[in-house]
Amino acid sequence: MTEARNRVEAQLVYESGDYQVVKPGDHVRCAVTGQHVSLDKLNYWSAELQEAYATPDDMIARLRELKRL
């Protein structure tokens, strides 16, 4: 079995400055790119939109897409 098959996507509730784990896992998906983001590397998310981002550029792209920037 490959490492990718062992990965489990977590379900989180994003809050301002923190998040709560609803369903344990090792990663979430970037809302813009679909890229897996390890929870230990997760630094960017929107509490308002309840979505995670792999990079600050992804977050900015999403906000521009929604005309919030």
> Domain containing 30: what range?
3-65
Query: For residue 62, which phi and psi values (nearest 5 degrees)?
Result: -65, -45
| Alpha-carbon 64 to chain mean position | 17
Cα within 13 Å of Cα(41), Cβ side: 13
Cα within 13 Å of Cα(48), Cβ side: 5
Dihedral angle, C-alpha 8, 13, 14, 15, nearest 10 °: -150
| Chain segment 7-53, per-residue pLDDT in tens | 899 999 999 999 999 999 999 999 999 999 999 999 999 999 999 99
Q: Across-strand partners of 45?
A: 52
Assign 69 a pLDDT band (cuts: 50, 70, 90): confident
pTM of the predicted structure, to 2 decimals: 0.88
Task: Say how many domains are in the chain.
Answer: 1
